[in-house]
A and B are shown apart, each in its own frame.
Chain A
């Protein structure tokens, strides 16, 4: 076979060894077993008070062994890649099953390789001085943006994750996954107020990414702009109102409102508010939402998922109709559906489960300016912190960090941060306008589920939702907002 020889060279692994480990994993029966080898190297740098205060490098390596028997999963891992320890992990995972040993189907099949992030020099191996330059430049640019910027912290982090996944069904996949991110956070002060702003970006890219369009200065100015703007922000309104979301990162709405609820595990167990709604209308006909793991260089993209299956573009909602779920091997098999290549895990210590990759809404036909003009009184939210969802009752929140009032069709005063809350299965039914300006986020998203964090992307065009609850503090009626 045509290997990326990483694990074979570093650990002296042979195909014979892999077969032996899988054999041990299936020594008590079971329907399926797989091995996930991971070798992760990473770098982080932080500049604070214009000093490089922290620099760190590290290596984490290990192997996770999984055995599936019906709906049961046994899992064990080791950070010691000696044959004895891997065999021990395999026999531990095997305890989930209790049947005669199973024999392996013959031979591994490697799928044609894809290359969504063909970096020539992974950033973890690049000169550290170039990375120091990035954070120092970010610091300088943020401070230069405005005299009211008083504190700046810029950090850079990158990693290279080499993985090898082999399964008892013949699965054989290797990948080398780079990931880099630059982040800038600022504090602005005037005599009466303090405010923060932050911006960042990256992807599965090499260091040269930050020397192209997305320079440290680009992110630094954006963080500084937000902080200064927030100094003047007034109280946010409270109650139900029209909400216009800007393009890009506000797509976190889709991630929380529908994405998680469409992960197959929750639907297999009938614990999602979306369970049983395939073929039903869950959004306005203007909404088409996809999850796409195949976008070159993107933070949420993968050549293969963490079960060795190729990623794909999956339509979740098409013109308002719920079309499908995001699946991994286990849920695909138990639900009799196709594996969409969304089986992901944080590391070798974790069991894979269905996760999003890059989730976004396709562009519509409305001009973004017309969308704003159509709103009499509402808010225009362009930047968000994080969000959260309760899968079972469908309630989701996401917190605006940069938002404005819309009054009589015009964007007016900036308002303080406010949480927006809605109900997943019906929030998108109130989408009345979708812009032509689809944008993906800058590459900063990390999603948490069951204690596992994985990098993801989101995106959306400018979108109008006719009614959503905004959690502001305004106690007096600033012009009709309190209801």
Chain B
């Protein structure tokens, strides 16, 4: 292997390159092929206690190919775009496919299914890089300063940060599909540390994200909220083990929605690795629970014109009034289950496509979070979960938690070092309230919710 890898980079359009590699795989004997190219830039600035701590700026690109020989498939990827690097990538994929099994359901989508939704999806704004360097740093500094200045008990900090990134994705396959899209992203965050008179510390964070700079909240607002979140944790105590109503704040509630996602993910469904497998058409959640996955929302964090296999994205009602109406599928899992793909294929550089969400959310209710809290005599308001004690096969659920104790309908003392446990099957049925505060801070969003019947473990 003593060849010299560095050569002149192939200076050709990346879309043409993807199509060319698909053609080369087919002329090498593949019955079908699919090529993905990802290109991206990132910038990040972290300021701590007013001083720049790290600055990072870079770009990269990588390419992956998946080939089929009838029902056998294999994939390879590389960050080496030299002629010899690409030749070797294609040759290795063709070679590797020989050792895989005939899988009757393997293949790329039918030509009739391929396509992309049209119109401007508002996913890319070049303004994420429009600020000159010093102003990017100033964003990070302002967020941290707002947190430090908010209260004298904010005594330390893990910093303020500003991040920006742009990415381009290209997909081509041997049915003639070729598509590309760009997305941009920027965020500002603050991570202050509050300290009480005894020296005990609590850290928390807040952030704002947007596809354009113009949609970011002000760094001052972000810093202030972060400070409030850290301060309200000071003086936390444990509680006695008991069963009480539990209210989850929106950030924490998204994790429950993610468990539903994993439960309806076609990959776990066809293997029976989900407690929701075989439940299509059945009631799996409380009456007022409706869950939507929509990859088409203009400007959304989970929006794209086509999925990881070149299927147009769409809106899918996953749960309607408590009834499971659809799984979330890619081409393979749809064939396994005798259903149609829902356009949720996610494609990394390597391996077979997985399943990912579009903009995935729980339909909001009509009451405010404050009204939900006011109904609770004694209960737990969760602001953070720790750990991954969730078993999707059995539904068993047990996680570390911290938050605020609700007493007499009001948020009271902070609590920590406690656990929240139940079983997801019952938890979805026991979602007794859904508030009206749905807000997207990522591709998964959930309003404040109330769940009955959970065990809070403590002293």
Neighbouring B residues of A55 by C-beta, 8 Å:
74-75, 96-97, 99-100
Neighbouring A residues of B5 by C-beta, 8 Å:
10-11, 61, 81
Asked if A327 is at the interface of the complex by the 8 Å CB criterion, the answer is no
B75/A385 in contact, CB under 8 A: no
A392/B61 in contact, CB under 8 A: no
A11/B4 in contact, CB under 8 A: yes
- The residue that B389 contacts in the complex, of A72, A396, A399, with Cβ under 8 A, is A399
Asked if A434 is at the interface of the complex by the 8 Å CB criterion, the answer is no
A residues sitting closer than 8 Å to B (CB atoms) are 9-12, 44, 46-49, 51-62, 71-82, 89, 92, 95-96, 128-129, 132, 150-151, 153, 187, 189, 193-196, 230, 236, 238-240, 269-271, 273, 349, 351, 385-393, 395-399, 401, 416-419, 421-423, 469-475, 482-483
Closest CB in chain B relative to A473 CB, distance in Å:
5
- The residue that B203 contacts in the complex, of A150, A271, A401, with Cβ under 8 A, is A271
User: Which has the most chain B C-beta neighbours within 10 Å: A89, A96, A150, A473?
Assistant: A473
Interface size on B, residues (CB 8 A): 89
Chain B stretch 46-83: residues in CB contact (< 8 A) with chain A: 48, 51-62, 64, 73-81
B399's nearest neighbour on chain A, judged by CB, is A419
- The residue that A419 contacts in the complex, of B2, B60, B387, with Cβ under 8 A, is B387
B241/A387 in contact, CB under 8 A: no
9 interchain residue pairs of minimum CB distance? A471-B419, A397-B400, A397-B387, A51-B101, A399-B389, A392-B203, A419-B389, A58-B77, A239-B241
- The residue that A423 contacts in the complex, of B349, B391, B417, with Cβ under 8 A, is B417
Asked if B156 is at the interface of the complex by the 8 Å CB criterion, the answer is yes
With the chains together, A151 CA to B272 CA distance in Å? Answer: 8
Closest CB in chain A relative to B400 CB, distance in Å:
4
B residues sitting closer than 8 Å to A (CB atoms) are 1-6, 9, 48, 51-62, 64, 73-81, 85, 89, 92-93, 96-97, 99-103, 106, 133, 156, 158, 193, 200-203, 233, 236, 238, 240-241, 243, 271-273, 275, 349-352, 384, 386-389, 391, 393-394, 396, 398-400, 402, 416-423, 455, 457-459
With the chains together, A473 CA to B76 CA distance in Å? Answer: 45
With the chains together, A77 CA to B387 CA distance in Å? Answer: 32
With the chains together, A189 CA to B321 CA distance in Å? Answer: 30
A60/B62 in contact, CB under 8 A: yes
A421/B386 in contact, CB under 8 A: yes
With the chains together, A196 CA to B51 CA distance in Å? Answer: 49
Q: If A10-B5, A11-B5 touch, does A471 touch B350 (CB 8 Å cutoff)?
A: no
B203's nearest neighbour on chain A, judged by CB, is A392
7 extra A-B contacts, CB within 8 A, seeds A51-B103, A72-B55, A75-B57: A52-B99, A238-B419, A238-B455, A239-B458, A386-B388, A387-B387, A419-B389
Q: If A11-B6, A388-B386, A422-B417 touch, does A72 touch B53 (CB 8 Å cutoff)?
A: yes
A56/B75 in contact, CB under 8 A: yes
A150's nearest neighbour on chain B, judged by CB, is B272
Neighbouring A residues of B393 by C-beta, 8 Å:
187, 194-196
B457/A472 in contact, CB under 8 A: yes
B271/A62 in contact, CB under 8 A: no
B78/A483 in contact, CB under 8 A: no
B352/A96 in contact, CB under 8 A: no
Closest CB in chain B relative to A242 CB, distance in Å:
14
Q: If A56-B75, A60-B62, A483-B241 touch, does A472 touch B271 (CB 8 Å cutoff)?
A: no
Q: If A58-B64, A395-B400 touch, does A153 touch B79 (CB 8 Å cutoff)?
A: no
A421/B419 in contact, CB under 8 A: yes
A54/B92 in contact, CB under 8 A: no
Neighbouring A residues of B459 by C-beta, 8 Å:
239-240, 469, 483
With the chains together, A399 CA to B391 CA distance in Å? Answer: 11
User: Which has the most chain A C-beta neighbours within 10 Å: B89, B100, B400?
Assistant: B400
A57/B96 in contact, CB under 8 A: yes
Neighbouring A residues of B54 by C-beta, 8 Å:
72-75, 351
A77/B58 in contact, CB under 8 A: yes
